[in-house]
Amino acid sequence: MTHLREDLSAGFLSMKMEDFRKKSSAQYLSLMNQNVALVEENYFKNGCSIFEGFVSMAIAAILLVYLNPILALVSIALMSIPSLIPQLFGRKLKAGQTAIVEATGAYNVSIKDLFQGFEVIRGYHVEKEMQADHKSFLGGMEKKKASFQKTMSVVYCFANASGVAVQFLVITIAGMLAVRGYLTLGSIIALTQLTGQVITPVFQMSAKFSLLRSTKPLREEMEQIVKISQKTEDSKEVQLEKELQLQGISYSYAEGEPVLSGIDLLFESGKHYAIVGKSGSGKSTLLQIVGGYLQKQGGELWVDGREGEIPSSIMMQQNVFLFDKTLKENLCLYRQFDEAQIQRALDQAGLTDTVAALPEGMDTCVKENGSRFSGGEKQRIALARAILHGEELLLMDEATSALDKRTAGQIEQQLSECKELTLISVTHRLDPAILEKYDEVIVLDHGQVVEKGAYQELLARKGALQELVQEEEDAPLPQ
């Protein structure tokens, strides 16, 4: 089972981002724990038990044939009756196993929401409602388990009854043969014992085989995940040296209006680009396609004149995740950096004072998902991590959204001085002091590029960018 869990984790880590997002983390946890445990118990252990039963049955059958071939053939023919009964319930057992898995997954999701949403639950005083939800999911899960056990009990009852009937029939036939002088009393006793040794394992193997077959949906799902890590990637990451070109890029999350349509852009190495637009205009989707998080559905993406590759990059997203490890481990992420490199990244991200105030400095544990830091501090940590790893291409998706205007401006200024860095940043900040630092501002609207150029140049056109700026200025101030 260790190898299975290792193969599954390798499969998860090899998943395409869009495929991974189809399920919640609670569902993946359920698969790694509950589903693997079911496969271990009902497939692997049952498989071993079936083999043991087969060996025992085979030995008893050979001895039975040796004592009385006719009675042996009768016993073997009749033992098919109890073996067929569990097979009649095969579909129901498989459906029951699947229902348990689904109900357990839903329960795990509710538990995850309870723990991760604890502050919201307490803050809005919905403890009773949350407890009712938990009770509902728990009841649903236990109901599915009880239904499955009920089906298994019926299977065992019918199989047991038929097994006893078959054994009684064999004893009756043996008695008739004894009356006619074909068998001795000792032979009857031996045949009775051996018949039991044949019929009982057959019944047990049949029931266990039904359980084994009920795990088929689970095994198929696991096999698909394991195979992901064994597939050769269609595209490979390469360092961006000259330019990244997008031609006719399109993407849609579902049937209907596309999120992106006919995107033609050229990103030159060493330049900085800002992508702006209204909410839902496709900014983040475009950034994720550039970073390889999403697969384009149309068009071509060229890296230094080569198609079929994606540029090696680091993505800074709105939601910052920190591992339950030390700050240094979160920054380095399994790579080795000297103290000077780490300090430079801290300085550029404005984290020096924050680290100095920590009880153990860089060796301070950040706690679960960085709970000891504020949202702004977590984004600074993410920025320092990106700077430290020093990829040629840095993708930022609202990376400074939680920072105050002054700090965000300082970070933007520091990034603008990194001429060796190619920066593509999605931002909602239309601050002239920030946007003027970019070589090109790209305006998206309804999944299309409607304007691009230097900030002042676009303002002079009085087009889409001017409209966005005006809307921001006219927006009412928060009360």
Share of the chain above pLDDT 70, in %: 95
Asked whether residue 281 falls in the same domain as residue 177, the answer is no
Residue 234 pLDDT > 70, yes or no? no
3-state secondary structure of 109: helix
Write the pLDDT tens digit of every residue in 285-319.
Answer: 999 899 888 888 899 999 988 887 788 888 887 77
Q: For the chain, how many structural domains are there in total?
A: 2
Asked whether residue 263 falls in the same domain as residue 325, the answer is yes
Whole-angstrom Cα distance, residue 218 to residue 98?
A: 8
Residue 296 domain flag: yes
Residue 368 pLDDT > 90, yes or no? no
**272 contacts 426 by C-beta, under 8 angstroms:** no
pLDDT for 456: 92
Asked whether residue 163 falls in the same domain as residue 296, the answer is no
pLDDT for 475: 60
pLDDT for 250: 92
Strand-pair partners of 267: 244
What amino acid occupies position 185?
Answer: L
Asked whether residue 350 falls in the same domain as residue 389, the answer is yes
What's the pTM?
A: 0.70
**101 contacts 38 by C-beta, under 8 angstroms:** yes
| Mean of the per-residue pLDDT values of the chain | 83
Give 388-433 as a 3 state SS string.
HHCCCEEEEECCCCCCCHHHHHHHHHHHHCCCCCEEEEECCCCCHH
User: What does each C-alpha distance from 444 to 137, 259, 260, 391, 464 come to in angstroms?
Assistant: 43, 11, 9, 26, 9
**CATH number for position 292:** 3.40.50.300
Asked whether residue 178 falls in the same domain as residue 52, the answer is yes
Final residue before a domain boundary, out of 181, 197, 228: 228
Final residue before a domain boundary, out of 194, 228, 262: 228
Helix 90-116 / helix 127-179 crossing angle, nearest 10 deg: 160
**CATH number for position 100:** 1.20.1560.10
Asked whether residue 267 falls in the same domain as residue 218, the answer is no
Residue 51 domain flag: yes
Where does the pLDDT of residue 266 fall: very low under 50, low under 70, confident under 90, or very high at 90 and above?
A: very high
Which of 180-184, 224-228, 332-336, 443-447 is the least confident region?
A: 180-184
Where does the pLDDT of residue 478 fall: very low under 50, low under 70, confident under 90, or very high at 90 and above?
A: very low
Asked whether residue 15 falls in the same domain as residue 141, the answer is yes
| β pairing state of 393-397 and 313-316 | parallel
Asked whether residue 201 falls in the same domain as residue 290, the answer is no
What amino acid occupies position 384?
Answer: A
Residue 479 domain flag: no
Whole-angstrom Cα distance, residue 219 to residue 56?
A: 28
pLDDT for 255: 64
| β pairing state of 310-311 and 272-277 | unpaired
Whole-angstrom Cα distance, residue 360 to residue 266?
A: 45
List own/partner pairs for 446-455 with CB under 8 A and 24 or more apart.
446/281, 446/282, 447/257, 447/258, 447/259, 447/260, 447/261, 447/263, 447/281, 447/282, 448/260, 448/261, 448/262, 448/263, 449/263, 449/264, 449/265, 452/265
Compare 58 and 453 and report the one with higher pLDDT: 453
R_g of the chain computed on alpha carbons: 33
Whole-angstrom Cα distance, residue 246 to residue 442?
A: 13
Where does the pLDDT of residue 230 fall: very low under 50, low under 70, confident under 90, or very high at 90 and above?
A: low
3-state secondary structure of 359: coil
Asked whether residue 128 falls in the same domain as residue 195, the answer is yes
pLDDT for 231: 60
- Per DSSP, 361 falls in state G
**330 contacts 381 by C-beta, under 8 angstroms:** yes
pLDDT for 232: 46
Residue 142 pLDDT > 90, yes or no? yes
Asked whether residue 202 falls in the same domain as residue 257, the answer is no
User: What does each C-alpha distance from 253 to 21, 235, 247, 295 come to in angstroms?
Assistant: 12, 21, 19, 11
pLDDT for 469: 86
Range of the domain at 199: 2-228
Final residue before a domain boundary, out of 163, 194, 228: 228
Whole-angstrom Cα distance, residue 265 to residue 247?
A: 7
Asked whether residue 153 falls in the same domain as residue 301, the answer is no
Asked whether residue 378 falls in the same domain as residue 300, the answer is yes
